[in-house]
Amino acid sequence: MKQQQEEEEVTTILITGAAGQIAYSLIPMIGSGMMLGPNRKVKLHLLEIPQAFDALKGVCMEIEDSAYPLIKEVIPTTDLKEAFSEIDICLMLGSFPRKDGMQRRDLLEKNADIYKTQGEALEKYAKKSVKVLVIGNPANTNCLIAKTYAPSIPSMNFTALTRLDHNRACCQIAKKLGIDVTDVHNVVIWGNHSTTQVPDVSNGYVSISGEKKLITDVINDEAYIKKEFFTTVSTRGEHVISLRKQNSATSAAKAVVDHMKDWILGTKEEDWVSMAIPSDGSYNIKEGLIFSFPVICKDGKISIVQDLPISSWIKEKLEITEKELLEEKSMVFPKQQQ
């Protein structure tokens, strides 16, 4: 009976920037049940700018031709009301790309207009229970903007993607130790989704031959942790771009799926993941900033893992990434007191 009820439910998902690379990888994952499970049917609202609408129509043709049993309906649109009306999940992929010679302030200002408009659309048309994930960069501050302009939606319903960085960190540890990535647990990405992010394994562990062992004990190489590992994870996106001449796409789509699956269906017992969420002051991070923390999810709610021991070296790095986020906030909300 429970399975029959689940099969009858339809979740409405909005994807912005839906003709882009990430969406092209993400939609098949959603259609295959990777995000919400093998029985949950979905209705897709796909939003694009008018210049990309023909490309979006081509994407829709491919969705039809793939004959996904879980995709009940697809609505391609350039209209904000049609896109945001009565949605359950909002995946915000669309953002203004950084161009040659563009300063960070210019990029932030361009995206501030986009996310102000879409935040207002969330406020006006979406369900108040909508779960929002911002992927378009600069993701943390774009999320803050959208949240600011949708005040009637609970703050904790707004998140930004740092799961890609989290997955990258797990993979690097697995490669270093020659183990499966599923045997790496409780790494953390703190802060901003930028090169100031703080990959942290100091409270993580690995499962080797059925035994839990601290990552730092098994690797036993502080120089590797502080230099090679830290730099590899925090600059991985730039390295991908340098090789394929385009942003990460499939890995980003998989991270979106992982993020939403854990948020909606719950994290594994005793495991935490990384999500950028509104700070409540935990770990002395300025309240209200969209900051990546270690979190657990249960019954659709996100909770920050509290009281983890933090080394002085990690604390210094947290101050740097927090400062960057405060600077970004001041650029898009110059009149607000920091």
Instruction: Please identify every residue annotated as catalytic.
Output: 193
Q: Give the separation between CA 140 and CA 215, rounded to whole angstroms.
A: 28
User: Element (H or E) spanning 53, and its range?
Assistant: helix 53-66
Cβ-contact 251, 267 below 8 angstroms: no
Q: Give me 289's structure tokens.
A: 């900033």
Within 8 A by CB and 6+ apart from 148, the residues are: 116, 119, 333
> In this structure, are residues 332 and 140 in contact, taking their beta carbons and an 8 Å threshold?
no
Amino acid at site 259:
H
Within 13 Å, how many C-alpha atoms sit on residue 71's CB side?
24
Helix H or strand E segment including 190? strand 188-190
In sequence order, the 6+-apart residues with CB closer than 8 A to the CB of 54 are none
Non-local CB neighbours of 239 within 8 Å, separated by 6+ positions: none
Q: What is the largest CA-CA distance in the chain?
A: 59
